[in-house]
């Protein structure tokens, strides 16, 4: 059994997903979600509505189920006078269907600024159309390779840029003890400071999640490292934080060089500044690296709940 399991991970890392998780698929999602007609995907605007419709249509095409208790892919809520919604799709598990693994990325961004000269649209290609492209590609991959004994929830969180509103709301709707892991993806469109075929994981030492990923990628060319920008407190600044505060081992994968990314939160964060190869290789590594958790063989340790 162990051998079979290792073989499956090896196949995912090296061959299994190369057909499904391709640069073409990544580019399709990336260019669509960061197009000017999405108007910067600010939560509560017409632009983000277009992005949500695209994500929903992809969930439908892929054949995802709806999340328990919802009659559509939308999880609606009101906050700050705005009608907001996360978009959630599901692949039910087999033997461990009551154990959830979340694969997430925020789909909102900053919108537009009318008083700017020239380009007024914050397209948010790296932040975070790249992460949503990963969620969609992973949904397609796990839907075609049904290795999940655990139930996978694919979540596009809203209003991250307004202070993690979508992930905080989502966190209130789940029993934290039922959630085995949170796999969050942010800004994977630029080559990592560690070089090609590498990514970093936030909060690496806060659970055994990162070590499990490293173990599963031992035979792969792709390597993951602890977050090199500890002073930027990135563990607390993305949607994983809303889940980690509940004790869930929820971490963020990223590749971006945060110390020298001149496009971060600028109108220049456009799809043509990104590297589809980095994105597709990173998605494949996330598929292989998390597969033992998704299959139910590994369970990361919980995050200690602190007031920090
Ligand atoms: Zn972001």
Q: Find the 110 Cα to ligand 1 centroid distance in Å.
A: 10
pLDDT band at 8 (very low <50, low <70, confident <90, very high): confident
Q: Find the 127 Cα to ligand 1 centroid distance in Å.
A: 5
Residue 62 and residue 55: Cα distance in Å, rounded? 11
> What's 38-73 look like in SS3?
HHHHCCCCHHHHHHHHHHHHHHHHHCCECCCCCCCC
Q: Find the 106 Cα to ligand 1 centroid distance in Å.
A: 7
What would the pLDDT profile of 107-140 be if each residue is shown by its tens digit?
999 999 999 999 999 999 999 999 999 999 999 9
pLDDT, mean of residues 11-19: 63
pLDDT confidence of residue 2: 67
Read off the pTM: 0.95
pLDDT band at 85 (very low <50, low <70, confident <90, very high): very high
Q: Find the 74 Cα to ligand 1 centroid distance in Å.
A: 20
Least confident of 11-20, 99-108, 243-252, 270-279: 11-20
Classify domain 2-295 at the CATH class level. alpha beta
What would the pLDDT profile of 178-205 be if each residue is shown by its tens digit?
999 999 999 999 999 999 999 999 999 9
Domain boundaries, the chain: 2-295
Q: Find the 131 Cα to ligand 1 centroid distance in Å.
A: 8
Asked if 64 and 89 touch (Cβ cutoff 8 Å), the reply is: yes
| Residues 49/50/52/57 CA torsion (nearest 10 deg) | 140
pLDDT band at 307 (very low <50, low <70, confident <90, very high): low
Residue 246 and residue 243: Cα distance in Å, rounded? 5
Q: Find the 34 Cα to ligand 1 centroid distance in Å.
A: 13
Q: Find the 33 Cα to ligand 1 centroid distance in Å.
A: 14
């Amino acid at each position: 059994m162990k051998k079979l399991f290792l073989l499956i991970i090896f196949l995912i890392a090296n061959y299994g997903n190369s057909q499904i998780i391709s640069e073409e698929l990544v580019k399709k999602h990336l260019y669509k979600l960061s197009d000017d007609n999405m108007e910067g995907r600010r939560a509560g605007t017409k632009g983000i509505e277009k992005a949500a419709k695209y994500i929903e249509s992809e969930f439908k095409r892929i054949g995802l189920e709806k999340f328990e208790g919802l009659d559509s892919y939308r999880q609606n809520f009101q906050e700050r006078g705005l009608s907001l919604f996360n978009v959630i799709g599901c692949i039910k598990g087999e033997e461990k269907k009551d154990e959830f693994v979340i694969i997430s990325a925020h789909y909102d961004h900053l919108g537009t600024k009318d008083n700017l000269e020239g380009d007024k649209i914050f397209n948010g290609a790296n932040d975070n159309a790249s992460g949503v492209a990963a969620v969609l590609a992973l949904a397609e991959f796990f839907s075609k390779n049904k290795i999940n004994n655990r139930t996978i929830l694919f979540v596009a969180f809203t209003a991250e840029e307004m202070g993690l509103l979508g992930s905080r709301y989502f966190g209130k709707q789940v029993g934290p003890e039922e959630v085995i892991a949170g796999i969050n993806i942010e800004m994977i469109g630029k080559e990592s400071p560690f070089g090609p075929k590498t990514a970093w994981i936030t909060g690496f030492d806060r659970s055994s999640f990162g070590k499990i990923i490293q173990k599963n990628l031992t035979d792969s060319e792709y390597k993951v490292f602890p977050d090199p920008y500890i002073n930027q407190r990135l563990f607390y600044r993305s949607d994983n934080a809303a889940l980690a505060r509940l004790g869930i081992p929820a971490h963020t994968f990223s590749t971006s060089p945060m110390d020298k990314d001149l496009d971060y939160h600028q109108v220049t964060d456009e799809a043509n500044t990104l590297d589809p190869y980095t994105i597709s290789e990173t998605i494949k590594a996330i598929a292989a690296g998390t597969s033992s958790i998704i299959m139910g063989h590994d369970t990361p340790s919980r995050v200690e709940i602190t007031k920090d």
